[in-house]
Amino acid sequence: MTAADQEKEQGGVMASAADGGGKSDEGTGTGPGDGSEGPGPGDGSERPGAGAGEGSGGPGGGAGAPDGGDGAAKPPLRTSVWQTDQKAARARHRRSTLAATLDRTKIVAAAVRLLDTEGPAKFSMRRLAAELDVTAMSVYWYVDNKEDLLEYALDAVYGELPLPDVSDPARWREQLRALSLAYRTLLVRHPWTSALVGHFLNIGPNSVSFVLAAQQAVQNSGLPLRGQLGGMAAVFQFVYGFGTIEGQSMVRSAAAGMTEDEAIAGAMRTVGELPELAEYVAVSTEMLDARGGSTIADMRNRDFDFALDLLIAGIERMAERAGDESADPSGE
């Protein structure tokens, strides 16, 4: 008898143990996916709010309050899967006789693989169960719903980030560059993360480790305390936007069966045929030629490095200005 067959026989017991059988294969989770699984990021059910990075782009960007209607009852604000009360609730679901063949780590790893290869639109608990060769109900022994699973998956990929040593204040520029490149790589490697960064509180252990490293690097720069969140926002919201566009461009090109160079060359030919955009094409061509680079990837890397240099130079100048003001409060 296979693991899936064993789970099917235990389906009634599982449904009973799972808080009175309140979970179906699909109806409990929320997030990006098919319509049977509820609302997800961007559909109006929850507004991304501001965290340490002021909005969805910065480290620590968290979920906001749900939208309310005229006199309508507001749904309870979702907090985080990492909070103690939710962990206690999930612990009641883990008494499975199949623990040797399935655990939360395996489930989250499979979810990340599916999100990477198939994208969030096709992701569902049923599809995940099929990937694991188990029943959908068995997955609910380890995660309460799809929303929690997406939060686990987001924190899991944050664990891939190589964090620099931020103990030496003199190396703050190097630290910010390393963190920025790591964050950009995450957004490109896992394009589905962009929509989730501002949807969740991002208080999982890996996300928090990244935010703490970013905070320390900005502190090392010498920016005054009142400006440190602004410094983080400038750097990491830039990286968020850059990495999001880069990742989505790669997804779009792959879906069309093209390389990025082929897709963008085709788009430029189309734009070049429109007389009303002649000035735009001329100016863009001049800028592209001056920048140099033989491939889209090469050009994009040059842009990223130059933009990051601008931000770091700005942080350095602002830190110097704060030091001057501290040394001479009169401004004379």
Q: What is the per-residue pLDDT across 137-154, written as a single tens digit (0 to 9) for each?
A: 999 999 999 999 999 999
Q: Collapse the DSSP code of 118 into the 3-class scheme (helix H, G, I; strand E, B; otherwise coil) and give the result.
A: helix
CB of 161 closer than 8 Å to CB of 182: yes
CATH 3.90.45.10, applies to 169-327: no
The residues that bridge with 48 in the sheet, in sequence order, are: 63
Is residue 16's pLDDT more than 70?
no
CB distance 144 to 150 below 8 Å: no
pLDDT in the model for residue 87: 55
- Give the separation between CA 297 and CA 173, rounded to whole angstroms: 24
Residue range 217-240, pLDDT digits in tens: 999 999 999 999 999 999 999 999
- Per-residue model confidence (pLDDT) at position 174: 98
Cβ neighbourhood burial of 247 (10 Å; 0-12, 13-18, 19+) = buried
What is the band of 84 on the pLDDT scale with cuts at 50, 70, 90? low
Residues 128-137, mean pLDDT to the nearest whole number: 93
- Both structure tokens of 125: 């608990």
Tell me what the mean pLDDT of segment 61-88 comes to: 61
- May I ask the CATH architecture of the domain 16-67+77-158? Orthogonal Bundle (1.10)
CA distance 22 to 176: 47
* Mean pLDDT of all residues belonging to the chain: 79
CA distances from 256 to 29, 120, 264 (A): 30, 18, 12
**What type of residue sits at position 246?**
E
Task: Give the angle subtended at the CA of 211 by the CAs of 201 and 85, to the nearest 5°.
Answer: 35
Write out pLDDT tens, residues 247-269. Answer: 999 999 999 999 999 988 888 88
| All structural domains of the chain with their residue ranges | 16-67+77-158, 169-327
Q: What average pLDDT does range 26-32 have in this prediction?
A: 39
Identify the pLDDT of residue 80.
Answer: 86
- 87, 41, 90, 86: which is closest to 66 by C-alpha? 41
Structure tokens at 260: 């990025």
Structure tokens at 17: 């143990």
| pLDDT for residue 58 is more than 70 | no
Structure confidence by residue, pLDDT tens digits, 85-110: 455 555 544 544 454 589 999 999 99
